[in-house]
Structure 1
Amino acid sequence: MAKTINDVSRNSWILSTFPEWGTYLNEEIAATKVKAGSFSIWWLGCTGIWLKTHEDTNILCDLWCGTGKQTHGTGKMKAGHQMMRMSGCQNQQPNLRNQPFVIDPFAIKDVDALCVSHIHSDHLDINTAAAVNKNCPEAKFIGPKEVVATWRKWGVPEEKLIVVKPGDEVKVGAVTIKAMEAFDRTALVTESDPEVKLAGKLPQDMDKIAVNYLFETSGGNLYHAADSHYANEFAKHGNENQIDVALGAYGENPRGITDKVTSIDILRMAESLRAKVVIPVHYDIWTNFYADPKEITELWRLRKDRLQYDFKPFIWQVGGKFTYPEDKDRLEFMYDRGFEDVFTKENDVPFPSFL
């Protein structure tokens, strides 16, 4: 801690401030004992989650430790950017990071697998890969072909890498990880090959760049839809699998863009998946896609008696914990407010009783 202003520099400020939550959440996750017949998840921002089971299997998925715009720059998007390709817009999108860093990636321990859903950098993060590779030497790195190719390029050892495509299953500790079809048009128009960009072609195969995941645990099953847009094939996944909790990439689509799932399609997704709980994520992270998840709750209240399957939405907060099935009937998360032990000792500044 700086003693005088002469001890303060930009670097000292950064190191003393970021990540904003320090190791608070790391410590909470490590200390949590998950009850039999349940699983716990923590929201780390964007679509990043930590899954912990009763058997103490720990799965990290899509943790992103980067940031968005930090300068106005030229004010233009780079040629070939997926948002430019989809919309025909040249002006830079103002995607500023909207949430604090709630976890310290370099204090991560005991991760059994890092799963990444697709190739976009707000899901596939070099900082997370470096931290998990260093701190969790036995952890597996699981992702579709192009995700694994990126990890390989970054230097993740070959023996840790596992390529998955829809239909594949990987057993990690007490969790069975199923790779499923992704429905992410935005990822589909992301292409690094200049010739493909110039020809206006789409990449050859969605299955090589993106998957959705189903995490099957002894306490229930978690479906991670990553950045999938709404698709009728969600019903196929719901028919073929038991899905208890589903995460969907919700957001407010800017004019001329369809990138995030809307509030009504979050409900359609949950109904198609036959989930018991649906949780919107991703809307939190980019200022230009920020949305109010209460819109989902209100639409659910209007429609719940007409829905084909019974489920509830759950409105989360970044850094918050959700335990299934303990929290399945809750509609909203609230941070710990503390002071459970109030008045267990004599307070030395008593208020007059009339206050």
Structure 2
Amino acid sequence: MTNQVPKTDGRGFPSGAYLNQNHPMDRTQWLEDTFPEWGSFLNQEIENYEVPKGQVSLWWCGGPSWVLKTDEGGVFMIDQYCGPSMYTELYYCGVCKQAGADSINWIRLNPQVIDPWKFNHIDGIFCTHAHQDHCDLYAVKAMTATTDAPFYAPPVAVKKLQGFGVPDDRIVVAKVGESVKVKGAEVDFLICYDQTAIKTGEGDVLLPFEEAACCYLFKTSAGNILFMGDTWYHDGYVAIAQKYDIDVAIFDMGCNAPGATDKMTPYDCARVGQTLKAKLLIPDHYDNWANTAGDPELLVNQFTRIVSENTPEIKTMIMRCGGRFNYPADKDKGRYRYPDGSENYDFSKSTFAKK
């Protein structure tokens, strides 16, 4: 066997040279080498990135999951899902109840782009509601064990966090109408009209919206960023527009098979943005579950067309999993593009230059 090369140089994932050599291998080593698919690369980017003054940075981790970093260095997790494909059942699942389905398969499509065990510090973890992909066993356990960050959640999700072993002194109940100050922002707890969350739970439940879900408005030096979880469209959002200036609204979008509404349609997304009088809209969640993905490009194309034709004063941003969005610097980009790596190219070292 040739001399073994280091597995990594600190970039957060294995080197090609390591992967080209023979190594002892079992299932555990395979999982360690290949999952998360992005290793800790994005963790390092988030930690090392210095947010310019007057800006706020957002990383989309796919599905409903976001990281927000303020220009004071505050790092916040919103609805982080680090779990697998799964199934839900009629006795508990709100979508199953709406559809009358004994069970629904939720097949995960998006990669895992953060390692929840490898953050050196986190300043807060926010859950909009108690669904598995917003209040996640894997993310909660990791961040409970490796950080001292507080958790913020509405009452139903608080009970779930307690059941996961989060200490009471690290839990803040997100009561609609109240707010907290965090590093680089003030966060207001606003009503979330999630019609599925209020039906979720054992038995024929119909919970108050304030008990089941919460929107989080991060008021930063760059503007007001609203995370809406899995909301449905509701006329009640007019009240938020009357009280707050919304710079960026982030919300669920997807394709609903007849018989069960789970995500907002592109039309509903455009309508909720118009109702909020938001300056910029970012849809999420359309990428990660097979049963609500439809054709993701069709969804985003419909969404951007509806917004541009009906409310041309409102901007849209279509992200890609793992991408970073700076507001307001990137407000006119429209669509995220992954870096192509050309900043590392050097023609003088190229095989073409040596001919």
Contact 2:347 2:353 in 1 (8 A): no
Q: Does 1:60 align with 2:85?
A: no
Equivalent of 1:253 in 251, 256, 271: 256
Equivalent of 2:131 in 108, 111, 120: 120
2: CA distance between counterparts of 1:321 and 1:52? 10
Name the counterpart of 2:68: 51
1:268/1:302 CA distance change after superposition, 3 Å: closer
TM-fit CA distance, 1:344:
5.4
Q: SS state of the match for residue 310, structure 1?
A: coil
Q: What pairs with 1:250-289 in structure 2 (closer than 5 Å)?
A: 250-289=253-292
TM-fit CA distance, 1:35:
0.7
1:271/1:78 CA distance change after superposition, 3 Å: closer
Q: Does 1:180 align with 2:193?
A: no
Name the counterpart of 1:101: 112
Q: Does 1:31 align with 2:31?
A: no
Q: Does 1:82 align with 2:99?
A: no
TM-fit CA distance, 1:293:
4.7
2: CA distance between counterparts of 1:274 and 1:303? 12
TM-score (norm 2): 0.89
RMSD over aligned Cα atoms: 2.1
Contact 1:293 1:315 in 2 (8 A): no
Name the counterpart of 2:15: none
Higher mean displacement: 259-268 or 126-135: 126-135
2: CA distance between counterparts of 1:80 and 1:163? 23
Equivalent of 2:308 in 295, 304, 307: 304
Name the counterpart of 1:202: 206
Equivalent of 2:171 in 139, 161, 176: 161
Contact 2:91 2:201 in 1 (8 A): no
1:80/1:296 CA distance change after superposition, 3 Å: same
Which ranges in structure 1 are unaligned for 5 or more consecutive residues?
71-75
Name the counterpart of 1:342: 345
2: CA distance between counterparts of 1:248 and 1:229? 9
TM-fit CA distance, 1:297:
4.0
1:301/1:81 CA distance change after superposition, 3 Å: closer
**AA at the equivalent of 1:8:** M
Contact 1:221 1:243 in 2 (8 A): yes
Q: SS state of the match for residue 343, structure 2?
A: coil
Name the counterpart of 1:40: 57
Contact 2:255 2:293 in 1 (8 A): yes
1:351/1:254 CA distance change after superposition, 3 Å: farther
Name the counterpart of 2:235: 232
1:295/1:152 CA distance change after superposition, 3 Å: closer
**Deviation sequence 1:123-145 (CA, Å, 0-9, x none):** 101221222222222x1111111
TM-score (norm 1): 0.89
2: CA distance between counterparts of 1:224 and 1:347? 46
1:12/1:215 CA distance change after superposition, 3 Å: same
2: CA distance between counterparts of 1:147 and 1:299? 30
TM-fit CA distance, 1:310:
1.4
1:100/1:55 CA distance change after superposition, 3 Å: same
Name the counterpart of 2:221: 218
TM-fit CA distance, 1:15:
1.3
TM-fit CA distance, 1:4:
4.5
Identity among equivalent pairs (%): 31
TM-fit CA distance, 1:296:
4.0
1:231/1:351 CA distance change after superposition, 3 Å: farther
Name the counterpart of 1:144: 154
Q: Does 1:316 align with 2:296?
A: no
**AA at the equivalent of 1:146:** V
